[in-house]
Amino acid sequence: MQLVYVTETYPPEINGVALTVERTVRFLRAQGHEVELIRPRQHGEAPGSSSPDEWRSAGAPIPMYPDLRLGLASTGQLQRRFAARRPALVHVSTQGPLGRAAVMAASRLGIPVTTDFRTNFHWYSRYYRLGWLEPLVCGYLRRFHRHADATFVPTRAVRGQLLAQGFERIEVQGRGVDTAHFSPARRSAALRALWGVAPMGDDDAGRATSGGVGSAEPVAGAAPVMLYVGRLAAEKNVGLALRAFEAARARAPATRMVVVGDGPLRRRLEAAFPAVRFVGMQRGDALAAHYASADVFLFPSLSETFGNVTLEALASGLAVLAFDAAAAAEHIRHGRNGLLAAPGDETAFIDQACRLASSPAHNPALVPTLRAHARETALTVGWDAVLRRFEGRLLHFAARNAETAVQHAVLA
């Protein structure tokens, strides 16, 4: 199948959408499909065709996210491009100007279009004192996706929310995780020592060697290392995770907190929480090692449609604390493979963080049990099955359009 894949974020940009798109395009090409990737040019790149299977539009920085870019292309420009190549389907992953131009161009040519709803952009206005914009942004998104044969969302909860807001043709298409890359086997004694954690006990050494989360008792009295991974921005609610750590440290002074990521709030958070270790962006093996070398993952965001980091933490064998929403609602069972707080209940979130920090003294089996079941859960959510299901849906819509075209030709 010949298809066009349109996105406004792509590596080396680091975010869940960019990495998922890269993996999806790579998978589709490996299955033998001809995939033309259309994306904005990034710093140091020229616009236009870099190869037969990639075309770069002009781009501009996103106002609140200067390290990310909007794609800039006209509907007519893409319409001419699609008409020349006549793909079987156009898939649009993002809802910016480039994505809108692609949706409109394909619609005018009668080419089937599928879209992703990956980011709650209409919610973001709440975090930047622009709440009055929310209904306007929601209206734009609704009109954007109305042109699609199907819009893929990551969870049942998101599907229900969008249907209630008047969106149509919504399908759940889950997410996966690379359990070979994100694994307890990457646990690093050297990294933990750098964080000021006491040397690992026999149970940690066994996990680092075997790649599994063992059932041995933890080091007596050892407090956990807590971790946050993600963008340091208002909509991520990072401050709650750091306040939870401070409360946990009051209960168990040896507790440590590591923050992986960068963003506009970094300097402010570093000044407000001097006991927290901020390590900036981490990629590849370094990121996997940071996950696996922690014990507890704090995820306080309520703005996610999914939250890939939740699955990455589970795969790394961490005890995850999150609100009962997005990926956590799909994959975490409270008290078995993680802990949940009711969405928006910050007191409960902080209380659960304190429970995890003090568990070595009061409930030594809690964190090791959660960690073991976390890894087991992640092993059931591999990327291969998720991407094959996605491929099947793309083939379905392309074939349905071809059948309709044949029927119209016969009737004519």
Interatomic CA distance for residues 249 and 251, integer angstroms: 5
Interatomic CA distance for residues 174 and 226, integer angstroms: 27
| pLDDT score for 125 | 52
pLDDT band at 53, cuts 50/70/90? very high
Interatomic CA distance for residues 224 and 83, integer angstroms: 58
Return the amino acid letter for 152.
F
Name which of 340, 328, 341, 336 is nearest 365 in CA terms.
336
Q: Is the peptide bond before 343 cis (omega within 30 degrees of 0)?
A: no
Return the amino acid letter for 312.
E
Interatomic CA distance for residues 36 and 83, integer angstroms: 14
The residue-averaged pLDDT of 222-243 equals 94
Percentage of the chain with pLDDT > 90?
A: 74
Whether the pTM exceeds 0.85: the reply is no
| pLDDT score for 15 | 85
pLDDT band at 403, cuts 50/70/90? low
Asked if the model's pLDDT at residue 213 lies above 50, the reply is no
pLDDT in tens, 185-198: 999 999 999 999 86
Using DSSP, state whether 304 is helix, strand or coil: strand
pLDDT in tens, 337-371: 999 999 999 999 999 999 999 999 899 999 999 99
114, 91 contact by CB (below 8 A): yes
CB-count burial class (<10 Å; 0-12, 13-18, 19+) for 377: buried
Task: Point out which residues pair with 340 in neighbouring strands.
Answer: 322
Compute the mean pLDDT over every residue in the chain, rounded to the nearest whole number. 88
pLDDT in tens, 123-140: 555 555 555 577 888 899
Look up the CATH number of domain 2-176+382-411: 3.40.50.2000
| pLDDT score for 211 | 39
Using DSSP, state whether 153 is helix, strand or coil: strand
pLDDT band at 68, cuts 50/70/90? low
Element (H, E) at 386: helix 383-411
CATH 3.40.50.2000 boundaries in the chain? 2-176+382-411, 184-378
Interatomic CA distance for residues 352 and 248, integer angstroms: 9
Asked if the model's pLDDT at residue 409 lies above 60, the reply is no
| pLDDT score for 126 | 55
Per mean pLDDT, which of 65-69, 120-124, 375-379 is the most reliable? Answer: 375-379
Name the architecture of domain 184-378.
3-Layer(aba) Sandwich (3.40)
| pLDDT score for 52 | 82
The residue-averaged pLDDT of 87-101 equals 96
386, 173 contact by CB (below 8 A): yes
